[in-house]
Structure 1
């Protein structure tokens, strides 16, 4: 009887603890959802991490899948695309395992949304269409509405205007039937954006389009005022900025832009960058040279901060979660002690197990923090070397412009702004490579092989660099078999091709030639990019894949580089069971590629 009594007490104890943990997870999820709708993304992210820590895949899979989907949306808003994609895929795996068609459709939609944010438009459309088909087959009207809304946004960007308007209209009608205010507002904003886009290509502006834009925005604003949801208020205000710019009512455009800026968190970089981009154009039209330069300076500063924020976010999250989890563990420990007083027989067992788990968790966290700190130090040495000098030079240039802005006319201002834009594009290229390298070093970039056509991918990449090549009168040629199918990580190989072709264009002189050869046979696929550019010395070729000895070289038009691009290529190719192949003669050209 004593044994039975102890077993019953132990079961009751575990059940009580589990229910409390589950209740706390639900509370954290509810808080996270509220923070997300209030456009408080950092707070939402911390709450979601705590909520997911108390959930299990098996017992409460639906709650876990929904929390993963919400975290994917938050991470996507903060431009953390890799972890956002991982959460969406994990939610898909959980939903598929439990044969939950609704959550499976939402997970496929989430995967598509992340690809949309990463400019992988064809992949985004594929996943969204699969989600729509599954939702329609299972008569999930709300989920069909959500997919149609996302597809409409995608088609708006792709300028497939008829499809965009048709889907937005269907989604809006369903939202009204379901009395879903959130999606009614989103679809009204989509209609407004659609007619604003149409007026981008009309001169003069068509008044009937502007009437429709104002009508949809005013209707959306009425619903926003009723619900008071900051997330949707931001989107509606942003569309008012575009509307008033088309109307050439720059004072109202200015007013709404500042409203958006006041509402945004300092880390809501995507929206803030968009607003300061608008402010540059607004102040330029108003003839306020000083504010135009200030807005552009703020735009550039936000771009830099966004990159820094992304680079160091993983380390910051670890610190925040470590502190919060420590406090939560202390509270749970106190509760556990009070409960264990009633069951002395099991107190030693439960406490021992708890301390052991805490010890293991802290040990894992300390090891991870040690690795992150080592990676951070290595990364900072690159950042200080390759970013400090150009940023300082741009700052000096802006100061010179401010000191003599009275002497500037419109042409000279536009010339200087174009030069700043080119400098920013160069820095963005470096920052993207730094982000890719950081993700690989911290294990956030996972190897996900799939079957794809390398020839077709090479054609897509060449189209991206067609204009930069034309600016230097460089001839691009592709010699390829019709189809060359490979099994590798699609995103990594795409990044490798972009880096290699970008280098070829950068270091090939005017009226030069770049030939790309893709061949395939039963043993594998071979890709080579040959240029007649400046070439690389034999000594530098040997150092090219050593991070500590990477060398930066200027292009034929003075384009700057960090030497990091080829290092990224080498590491990504190694993960795909390949190696970077380089043959070069100084002053005669370079042949670079890989076999896979």
Structure 2
């Protein structure tokens, strides 16, 4: 056991030395047929490989460890092996397997009444549920872990930290702050400085959420001091982002921008992709609020490129992990098969190769082989299913990127090109242009600017939706007022085609909904109705039962074309025979936003019979 203790002592300083002493413990235990020593020796190797990120090797060694603990009938050892097998499968994203092993370990620890082990496994189980966004279950197991550690009077700061993170993920900063501060006290009580900088950053984030800015600044400066002293560039980059959030919340936009840019510079130099995504999104939003649309678009585009890179790496890692799991299970099956073959040889020698027993064992091996082949077929089918899912996600991602390029190439290029042509024509002899021609050119400039404004607005709202930055804020809304406002916005567009727009919604009608989402939806739908209505056409907006309907007498569309409207992978440019074509972003945006607000959108249409767009509340 001396070699095992020395091996453990090297975990945090020298993993190579830790591995050497673990192998020495195994070698000694093999000579003496010492099952306990073999079990803990392989368990140590499993932990070492886990620290190195080699999870397949970690799982194999923990499987060996479990074998020897079972042979020695060592319940605590079996529980430890199951716990570390759960950790290995968690890192390979095999969450169901991970939970299976964790609950097996929990059962053994409870049987032994080993409270420290129970606390540790509850914390592990909580982490799985938190990753799967099952927050009630995560809190249940984290709290169990915390209460047991408190009862044992051992450091419970990690459990408190986990509880705080769950509350913060749900936006409850007050509750999150309460547990982060408890964690800070616990660290001081046990003189534990590990993870203090990260804790201070989290506390600062809570104070920002609660608008207590002086306290937020105090804690973020503490975090920065620790991370810069330790040359922890990842931590320092993250600290600067939170500092930027603080300045942004205080409306010091230039200071916030400086912090974000510095954080981004560090993250980019060290290839911290997750931090780069956060930085570019925040910088883009800040430039947008400062009115610098060019910079906002530049960083938004960079954010999308980094996300593409991360998504590619995740898919690559997912495939690699599937291969690892397959190889691990294959080796486990080979070990089982080899064990059965050895047993067969022993029995054959002892029974003088009796024919009858040989036939029985041969049949058993045949069934086992069929079982293993079936299992391998099932695993391959599962792998193919996961790969198909990932391919579908990639296809949707590529379609989203194609949609963005299509918008830039079509909806942005046309009005910008028109602007360029018109201004060039006007600049050449402005004083010689007839009054009626000048008015016509100005009218065309106005139309181009309106189109450009609508496209940019849709693009920016869509980019926020893709990053899940849209928050639904339900208030009392009078749809009659909203629709009247939008009709006024597009009065010139409708008048130029002599289209009559009638708003029949009752002024008494009130809805509890997100005002901005409804405004965006009505704006896009009404603009589409104007675009695809003929000269002297008509548009009616009215309420029917629990729906608001926007109905036009335009060119209409077929059932086949209706099915293309809300599918990002379909080309909508082929819909209808109107000269006014679009990319379909407006309706896609409406669908995404209305889904978030629990409002259904439905389209009814027929060729040459007009179109109804129905919002169901």
RMSD of equivalent CA atoms: 5.8
Q: Structure 2: how far apart are the matches of 1:281 and 1:258?
A: 15
Counterpart of 1:277? 278
SS at match of 2:133: coil
Task: Give 3-state SS (helix, strand or coil) of 1:241's partner.
Answer: helix
**Residues 198 and 415 of structure 1: CA distance in aligned 2, closer, same or farther (over 3 Å):** farther
Structure 2 residue 180 is the aligned partner of structure 1 residue 198: no
Is 1:186 matched up with 2:195?
Answer: yes
Deviation at residue 194 of structure 1 after TM alignment: 1.9
Change (3 A) 1:399 1:256: farther
Change (3 A) 1:364 1:187: farther
Q: Given the alignment, which residue of 63, 75, 81 partners 1:52?
A: 63
> Normalising to structure 2: TM-score of the pair?
0.51
Hey, what's the Cα distance between the residues in 2 that align with 1:302 and 1:368? 32
User: 1:172 touches 1:188 (CA, 8 Å); kept in 2?
Assistant: no
Compare 84-93 and 61-70 and name the one that shifted more. 61-70
User: Is 2:216 the counterpart of 1:209?
Assistant: yes
Q: Does 1:419 align with 2:433?
A: no
Counterpart of 2:305 in structure 1 is: 297
In the alignment, is residue 255 of structure 1 matched against residue 257 of structure 2? no
Matches within 5 A, 1:16-95: 16=33, 18=35, 21-22=38-39, 24-35=41-52, 40=53, 43-44=54-55, 46-56=57-67, 59-70=73-84, 72=86, 80-95=94-109
Deviations 1:63-110 (A, max 9, x none): 444454455556556655444433332322221122211111222222
Deviation at 1:323, TM superposition (A): 7.4
> Structure 2 CA distance, aligned partners of 1:366 and 1:53?
23
For each residue in 1:28-77, what CA deviation from the matched residue of structure 2 results, as whole angstroms up to 9, or x when unmatched? 22313422xxxx3xx23541343234315754444444454455556556
Cα offset, 1:253, TM superposition? 0.9
Alpha-carbon offset, residue 193 of structure 1: 1.8
Note if 1:125 corresponds to 2:139: yes
Q: State the Cα distance separating 1:325 from its structure 2 match.
A: 6.4
Q: Distance in 2 between matches of 1:469 and 1:115?
A: 34
Partner of 1:481: none
The partner residue of 2:180 within 158, 168, 188 is: 168
1:483-509 Cα deviation digits (max 9, x unpaired): xxxxxxxxxxxxxxxxxxxxxxxxxx9
- Aligned partner of residue 271 in structure 2, secondary structure: helix
Larger RCO: 1 or 2 (CA < 8 Å, sep 6+): 1
Q: How does 1:80-479 map to 2 (within 5 A)?
A: 80-137=94-151, 139-142=152-155, 144-180=156-192, 184-200=193-209, 202=211, 206=213, 209-219=216-226, 222=229, 234=234, 237-244=237-244, 246=246, 247=256, 248-258=258-268, 261-262=271-272, 272-273=273-274, 275-282=276-283, 285=286, 287=295, 289-303=297-311, 306=314, 310=318, 312=319, 315-321=322-328, 366-377=373-384, 388=395, 391-392=398-399, 394-395=401-402, 397-398=404-405, 401=408, 415-420=458-463, 422=465, 471=517
Distance 1:78 1:256, change over 3 A: farther
The answer to whether the 8 A contact 1:290-1:402 is kept is no
Closer/same/farther in 2, CA of residues 179 and 33 from structure 1, 3 Å limit: farther
CA contact (8 A) 1:165 1:191 kept: no
Deviation track 1:392-436 (CA, whole Å, cap 9, x = no partner) reads: 3523634874998997999966642533554687xxxxxxxxxxx
Alpha-carbon contact 1:242-1:253 (below 8 Å) kept: no
| CA distance, structure 2, for counterparts of residue 273 and residue 557 of structure 1 | 31
In structure 1, runs of 5+ residues without a counterpart are 1-11, 226-231, 263-271, 337-343, 349-354, 426-465, 474-508, 515-530, 534-550, 562-585, 589-596
Question: In structure 2, what is the equivalent of residue 8 of structure 1?
Answer: none
User: How far has the Cα of 1:281 moved from its partner?
Assistant: 2.5
Q: Secondary structure at the match of 2:147?
A: helix
In our comparison, the structure showing a higher alpha carbon Rg is 2
Contact kept in structure 2, 1:192 and 1:239, CA below 8 Å: yes
Alignment: residue pair count: 415
**Secondary structure in structure 1 of the residue aligned to 2:46:** helix
TM-score (norm 1): 0.53
For residues 25 and 358 of structure 1, what CA distance do their matches in structure 2 show? Answer: 29
